[in-house]
Amino acid sequence: MTRNPRFLVTINNWARPKVHVDYHVEFDGHYYSVPYQLVGKQMDLRATASTVELLLGGRRITSHVRSFQRGGHTTQSEHMPKAHQAQAEWTPPRLIEWAKKTGPATAALVEEILRRRVHAQHGFRACLGVLHLNRKYEPQRIEAACARALRLRACTYKSVAAILKNNLDREPVTEEPRPEALPAHGNVRGPGYYH
């Protein structure tokens, strides 16, 4: 169900999100930027039907037009550090190298997550989630789950976590059967019909 902000009652919603390494906070499934110097800080967030305000110590730091796009990012360019690096240690090459320690499928999945984003930094949270799965699962299982996610084109942290949770990494991926060619029929037009 898509929410239409025109029909929402103007009510203040409050939250206390923490600024993640990608200098965004999450509210209602959407990510809003703050100045990158605030990474790690706990913020006060006030949301109405049309606005998201972020405060620190009672002082307004920034505001955004509220978005109801789940998984999307609202980023103000002045919040980004030079070269989009909130911390020098978190760069796409470093994340990929870290993923290679688990295996080539994990590295390929991390690369794919980063490639799918307009700004690679918006994929840092998902990549770190995949890499931190080693706190709960052994590397062989993470590698198998990443390989399965790549084959299924489900290149997200949530997909990998679900594969592991449901022990699907231990099952073979069945290939989808190819559709058989259509039988010859008078109503089936070939490619020459359209040229």
In this predicted model, what pLDDT tens digit does every residue of 137-193 receive, in sequence order? 999 999 999 999 999 999 999 999 999 999 999 988 776 656 666 666 667 666 666
Q: What is the mean pLDDT of residues 42-61?
A: 95
If one compares 162 and 5, the residue with the highest pLDDT of the two is 162
Residue 72's pLDDT is 86
Q: How far apart are CA 46 and CA 52, in angstroms?
A: 6
Going by C-alpha positions, the residue among 42, 26, 24 that lies closest to residue 34 is: 24
* Strand pairing class (73-74; 13-15): unpaired
Claim: this prediction has a pTM higher than 0.75: no
CA distances from 58 to 23, 40, 51, 98 (A): 19, 17, 17, 38
The dihedrals phi and psi of 124, each to the nearest 5 degrees, come to: -60, -45
Phi-psi label, residue 130: left if phi above 0, alpha if psi -120 to 50, beta otherwise: alpha
Q: Give the chain's end-to-end CA distance (angstroms, integer).
A: 42
CA distances from 160 to 23, 97, 122, 136, 189 (A): 24, 19, 18, 13, 42
Q: And the tokens for 159?
A: 């997909």
